[in-house]
């Protein structure tokens, strides 16, 4: 099974900050890496697919990069509505999720 | 825009079988390239993938749950189902059904149900 290591598990940031979340996989997954945002009481929402492709309707301050085993989600200028938990997920072999990163004020 | 809705009992006794269904509306399940998944989230914790099924009936399960899980699909009724046997309190979670697509790079999950809370308790 592919293991997903997401870091940090939580972070504190302010509006306007640049935020970076990393995801590392235990084996090469090419670009089969996706990022989701989850707010309390809501289902997760797809932000980035294929490591770097912005999902339709998602603000351009979100971006993704990486390939192989190391991936990054970046929020260029944190907005109040971005305080949430973020998950990476691989689809290379079956599915698996990272442990999540809670972005707090 | 496809919509998904989970249904089933909110309370299951320990050692019993948890059974949930997911009804798909606003689209067909027969289109190639889509996979239909179950994901759960224990209270206050992260997401755990349970398994997914294609409209052909091919299934793939999380290896940690393989001995407990079975999934089925009925494309004529636009629904798919989950059974989780011999449940314990550790299976208490919010259960989501979701659609994944191979039409997007990375084969992501692009549609989710609202989730159904299932509690395992006597």
pLDDT at B116 (0 to 100): 98
The answer on pLDDT for B31 being more than 80 is no
Residues of B in contact with A33 (CB under 8 A): 106
A44 contacts chain B (CB < 8 A): yes
How far apart are the CA of B18 and the nearest CA of chain A, in angstroms? 21
Average pLDDT value over all residues in chain A? 97
* Nearest residue to A69 via CA among A6, A14, A20: A6
Q: What is the mean pLDDT of residues B16-41?
A: 94
Q: What is the mean pLDDT of residues B27-38?
A: 89
Residue B6 vs residues A41, A58, A86, A103, B19: alpha-carbon distances, Å: 15, 26, 23, 29, 11
Contact partners, residue B112, CB within 8 Å, separation at least 6: A43, A44, A45, B4, B96, B97, B98
Cβ(B38)–Cβ(B96) under 8 Å?
yes
Rounded CA separation A72/A101 (Å): 12
The pLDDT tens digits for B109-118 are 999 999 999 9
pLDDT at A91 (0 to 100): 98
What percent of chain B lies above the pLDDT cut of 90?
91
pLDDT at A24 (0 to 100): 98
DSSP chain B: --EEEEES-SEE-TTS-EEEEEEEESS-S-STTEEEEEEEE-TTS--EEEEEEETT--EEE-TTTTTTEEEEEETTTTEEEEEE-S--GGG-EEEEEEEEESSSTT--EEEE---EEEEE--
The pLDDT tens digits for B74-106 are 999 999 999 999 999 999 999 999 999 999 999
Considering only CB atoms, A91 lies closest to which of B47, B61, B107, namely B107
Say which DSSP state A84 is in.
S
* pLDDT band (50, 70, 90) for residue B32: confident
B117 contacts chain A (CB < 8 A): no
The pLDDT tens digits for A19-59 are 999 999 999 999 999 999 999 999 999 999 999 999 999 99
Residue B86 vs residues A4, A69, B7, B11, B13: alpha-carbon distances, Å: 27, 36, 20, 14, 9
* pLDDT band (50, 70, 90) for residue A103: very high
C-alpha dihedral sign at A6, A12, A14, A17: negative
Contact B105 A49 (CB under 8 A): yes
pLDDT at A94 (0 to 100): 96
Considering only CB atoms, B60 lies closest to which of A49, A87, A94, namely A94
pLDDT at B30 (0 to 100): 85
Contact A97 B48 (CB under 8 A): yes
* Nearest residue to B104 via CA among A4, A48, A1: A48
The answer on pLDDT for A70 being more than 80 is yes
Rounded CA separation B16/A60 (Å): 47
Contact B110 A32 (CB under 8 A): no
Location of structure tokens 């979670």: B93
């Amino acid at each position: 099974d592919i293991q997903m290591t997401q870091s940090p598990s939580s972070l504190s940031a302010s509006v306007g900050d640049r935020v970076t979340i990393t995801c590392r996989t235990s084996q090469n997954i090419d670009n089969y890496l996706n990022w989701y945002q989850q707010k309390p009481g809501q289902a997760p929402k797809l932000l980035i697919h294929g490591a770097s492709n912005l999902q339709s309707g998602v603000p351009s301050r979100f971006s993704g990069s990486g390939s192989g085993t190391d991936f990054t989600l970046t929020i260029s200028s944190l907005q109040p509505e971005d305080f949430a938990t973020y998950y990476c997920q691989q689809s290379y072999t079956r599915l698996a999720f990272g442990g999540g990163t809670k972005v707090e004020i | 825009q496809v919509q998904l809705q989970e249904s089933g009992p909110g309370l299951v006794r320990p050692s019993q079988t948890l059974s949930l269904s997911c009804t798909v509306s606003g689209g067909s399940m027969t289109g190639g390239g889509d996979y239909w998944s179950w994901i759960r989230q224990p209270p206050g914790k992260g997401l755990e993938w349970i398994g997914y099924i294609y409209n052909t009936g091919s299934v793939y399960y999380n290896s940690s749950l393989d001995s407990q899980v079975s999934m089925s699909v009925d494309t004529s009724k636009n629904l798919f189902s989950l059974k989780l046997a011999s449940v314990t309190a550790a299976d208490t979670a919010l259960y989501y059904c979701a659609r994944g697509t191979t039409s997007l790079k990375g084969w992501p999950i692009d549609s989710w149900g609202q989730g159904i809370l299932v509690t395992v308790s006597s």
